[in-house]
Chain A
Amino acid sequence: MKKYAPDTLEDATRDKLSIAIASETAEGRGPIWLDATEVIDQVKKEFPHEYQLCKDRGVDLAIERAQVGPAAHFIMGGVRIDQDGQTDLDGLFAAGEVAGGLHGGNRLGNNALSECLVFGARAGQKAAAYSQNSNNISLEPLHLNLKGEHRPHEIKSEIQRVMSDYFGVIRTSEELTTALSEINTIKHKLKDVHISSIKPYSREIIDYIEATHMTLTAEAMTLSGIHRKESRGAHFNSDFLEQMSPAHHILVRLGNNQLKVLHKEVKSDESSRQN
C-alpha cells in the first residue's frame, strides 16, 4: 500500500484500499492477498465471526493468506431527506442506507449504524407526529402480464453483471455510457416477464419487485456517474482523475417516467435543506 497511501498503508479509508486493489489487478499484478498473520490475535478478538467463516471455508488466517477483492458494500447515494428524514413526497420518510448525502464521497467505517440510529429515531418521531393528522395513503396494486419471456431472477443477474462490468471500482466514461444503454435494454425486458407462481412469498414476485427497483437505482447511479466529471471518494473515473471545485451534489428526479439530472453546490452548512 506504500504506493497508494504512504501514510496510512493498509489503514487507508476503504475507497483508497478498493482503488488500490482494483488498480493492481487491472495492471496484471493480481491476485491480491491479505496477510493477517502478524495481527492474528487482534483479528480473532475483533473479528471472530470473519475468522471462523474463513476457517470453515478452508483458510486459516493464523497461518495462511487469503485472496481478497473489493465488493459492493454500501450505497452512498440515496433518497434525499431533510434533518428529520422527510422526503420531497408528502408522508414519505427515509432513514438509514436508503437515504443519501450524509457520507459524501466515501463512508467511514461504522458510520452506517450511527446514521441508522440517529435518523431512524428522528424519522420515526416525525412520522408518528405526521400520522396523527393524515389519512391513510393507498398504494397502486401491481399489474403484471405473467406470461412473458424473461424470468425475474435472470433480469437481476443481468443488472448485477452490467453494474460489475461497467460500474465497478475503476470506471471510464465509455463504460458508464455502455452501462446506461444496457440498462435501457433491461428496462424493456421488465415489461415482458414470466411468472409462474403468485402464491404468498413467491420468490418470482419478490425477484420481480427487486429487479424493478434495482433497474431504477442502477439507472440513477449510472446517470449520476456520467454527470460527475471528476474522481471523488469511491467514484473513480480514470478519464477525470481530478476533483472539481466547488463540490456538488448530483440529484436525480423521476417525473413522467424520465430521470432528470440536477447539479447542486454543496454548502458548508447543510443542516437545513433549501430546495
Chain B
Amino acid sequence: MNLHVKIDRGSHVSEYHVNCPKVMTVLNVLEKIYQEHDPSIAYRFSCRTGLCTTCMMMINGKPDLSCQKNAEAGSDGYLTLAPLPKGYTIRDLVKEY
C-alpha cells in the first residue's frame, strides 16, 4: 500500500510517500523512512515488544506505542506523527526522559 506520512519536526513538517505492506507497525514505517527516504529523521525505540514505552509518540493525534500500533492513515489521508506534547523535545520525535 502507498502510505502518506507527515512528521512534525518542530520547525517544519516533513512529508513522505512510503510503499509498505498492508500490515506494518508505525515503528517499521519509520525504519523504512530512515533507511530509504530520509537518514536524518530522529526517533527512539528499545524493546519492540510494547514493554518499555521508549517508542511512545503522538500517532494521528493520540499518544501510542509506535512498535505496537499498526500504521494507518487518519481521516485526512495521512499517518501523522509528532513528539509527545509534554516536556522538552530534543529533536524530531525524541523527547528528554
Residue numbers of A with Cβ under 8 A of B are 49, 53, 56, 151, 153, 196-197, 199-204
Contacts and interface: CB of A to CB of B under 8 A. Distances in A.
| Among all A-B residue pairs, the 6 with the closest Cβ atoms | A197-B40, A201-B42, A201-B94, A196-B39, A201-B91, A197-B39
Interface of B: 34-35, 39-44, 49-51, 68, 90-92, 94
Contact of B39 (A53, A200, A203): A203
Contact of A53 (B34, B49, B91): B49
15 contacts: A53-B50, A56-B68, A151-B35, A151-B39, A199-B40, A199-B91, A200-B42, A200-B90, A200-B91, A201-B42, A201-B44, A201-B94, A202-B42, A203-B34, A203-B42
Contacts, number: 34
Contact of A201 (B35, B39, B49, B90): B90
Nearest to B30: A203
A200 B95 CA distance: 12
Nearest to A195: B39
Contacts of A203: 34, 39, 41-43
Nearest to B50: A53
A202 B40 contact: yes
B40 to A, nearest CB: 4
